[in-house]
Amino acid sequence: MPLAGRRWLPRMQAMTPYRPAHRPRPHRAAGFTLIELLVVVVLIAISSATIAMALRDPAELQLQREGQRLAALLEAARAESRASGLAVRWLPSAIKAGDDFRFEGLPKSLQLPTRWLGEPVAVQIERGNALVLGPEPVLPAQRVRLRLGEQSLVVGSDGLSAFDIVTP
């Protein structure tokens, strides 16, 4: 029996929201992230640098090593000259057979190398026939050009700084 003042409502089934069979996902932009692109660029740079180093001219590589070694030898002789107070010079000509260059004025107790590492290198000293390495702390600017085949490089100092490979 119905209650007074109350309406009879049909029995409602549980209401569920409408759901389509396929729910679309939020739209994501197609492409790569910035991190992914940077990783690819770094990998390409590393691989191209590796290939470039592998394809270097052997004469250029040897000349580069000879220049670095000569700069280190000149600095060692320069330091010894300052420490001992002896006048030291580097000459691209040798006295003994089998030598390629020599240091003049160093004490007998200090024996620096007198040969190139590989093939003999052609040497041309700018403004003179020898490099003066001391004993004065300030020297004139000096340069020596090394050649091996078609390759050449310059080792020099401005008189205050150390000998090093100079870019023309």
Order across the sheet with 164-166: list the strands. Answer: 122-125, 142-148, 151-157, 164-166
pLDDT at 15: 59
Q: Does domain 58-166 have CATH number 3.60.150.10?
A: no
Is the model's pLDDT at 22 over the cut of 80?
A: no
pLDDT at 17: 62
Query: 């401005």: which residue's tokens?
Result: 158
pLDDT at 89: 95
For the ranges 11-20, 34-43, 58-67, 144-153, the lowest mean pLDDT is seen at 11-20
How many whole angstroms separate alpha carbon 139 and alpha carbon 124? 19
Contact 110, 84 (CB under 8 A): no
pLDDT at 119: 86
Q: Give the model confidence (pLDDT) of 40-96 as tens digits.
A: 999 999 999 988 877 777 888 899 999 999 999 999 999 999 999 999 999 998 777
Average pLDDT, integer, range 6-30: 61
**Through-space distance between the first and last CA atoms of the chain, rounded to whole angstroms:** 112
Mean pLDDT, rounded, of the chain: 86
* Residue-wise burial string across 56-93, b where 16 or more C-beta atoms lie within 10 A, e elsewhere: eeeeeebbbebbeebbebbebbbebbeebebebbbebe
**Beta-bridge partners for 151:** 148
Contact 132, 81 (CB under 8 A): no
pLDDT at 147: 94
Res. 137 pLDDT band, cuts 50 70 90: confident
How many whole angstroms separate alpha carbon 85 and alpha carbon 33? 65
Handedness of CA 138, 141, 144, 145 (dihedral sign): positive
Extents of the domains making up the chain: 58-166
pLDDT at 6: 55
